[in-house]
Copies of this chain bind each other. A is one copy, B any other.
Amino acid sequence: MAKDPVARLRVAPGTKVDLGRHATDATLGWEKEWALEELERAKERLDVLQARLYAEEQRSVLLVLQAMDAAGKDGTIRSILSGLNPAGVHVASFKVPGGRETQHDYLWRVHEQAPAKGHIGVFNRSHYEDVLVVRVKGFAPKAVWSKRYEHIREFEQLLADEGTRIVKCFLHVGKDEQRERLQERVDDPEKRWKFRMGDLDDRALWPKFQRAYEDALERTSTKYAPWYVVPADRNWVRNLAVAKILLGVLEDMDPQLPPPEDGIEGLVVR
């Protein structure tokens, strides 16, 4: 067993993925109370490293979040990234493409949102929708979507080669847990606006979506852009796991404050 339980969530490149064998309610050996405190410690450390990344302005981080409805993409972003300096965080939410977006290849709008040097970019949904919903709902024929895994690997390789560290998290929620969460949205007048009738259509296609996720994870988890399967039935597990994954990347990057301009030391400002 790896020392750090989040390392075990990583999909090793080239391995088979069977989501049925990944527990959605795992605790990763954590106790809730400790995990909430640990999340605060992780956020403090993220804050320090983000400030350095921003100052260094040489590299960037991209966190991709994908999940079935109500698995908690929004909640994860809020929980982990609020508290950071908003000047250095850019969240891109990809919705159903429209307008000019549909006049280009599917990576066009994604590339535009790639994080700038010094920034942490977060994709709330992403180019993976183009091998997930597009495949499951038949928005494009297999001859089209089946070529996309390679496009995506090469696109992410480009970003990685040019200074972006990429991590991708699949927030893995159970079908029963999703039912409860959707029901809660229906029942709670404060949350009802979040519910779309279309959510039920996607839910009815659950096995096909799981299969499409398995293929995407298998075919696009790479050394330079690994996927993690994050158990998402418990928000506190999900949040800490994603925070630790992101923190691990930043610790490994070890961003540095840039050197001062020449001749500054000892200067007297008048």
Contact = CB atoms under 8 A, between A and B. Distances in A.
A197 B269 CA distance: 10
A257 B191 CA distance: 9
Nearest to A200: B269
Given A183-B269, A269-B183, A270-B179, A192 B264 contact: yes
B186 A267 contact: yes
A190 B257 contact: yes
A193 B85 contact: no
A78 interface: yes
Given A55-B193, A196-B261, A82 B74 contact: no
Given A78-B85, A270-B179, A259 B193 contact: yes
Contacts of A186: 264-269
A192 B262 CA distance: 11
A84 interface: yes
Nearest to A198: B261
B264 A197 contact: yes
Dominant SS among interface residues on chain A = mixed
Contacts of A98: none
* Chain A: interface size category: 35 or more
A61 interface: no
Interface string A65-102: 00000000010011001111111011101000000000
A182 to B, nearest CB: 4
A29 interface: no
Nearest to A70: B269
A210 interface: no
A170 to B, nearest CB: 19
Interface string A238-270: 000000000000000000011111011111111
Contacts of A265: 186, 192
A85 B124 CA distance: 13
A122 B86 contact: yes
A195 interface: yes
A122 B89 CA distance: 13
Contacts of A182: 269
Contact of A87 (B124, B183, B203, B270): B124
Contacts of A259: 193
A267 B196 CA distance: 12
Most-contacted residue by chain B among A197, A260, A268 (CB, 10 A)? A260
Interface string A6-41: 000000000000000000000000000000000000
5 contacts: A82-B83, A90-B90, A182-B269, A183-B268, A193-B257
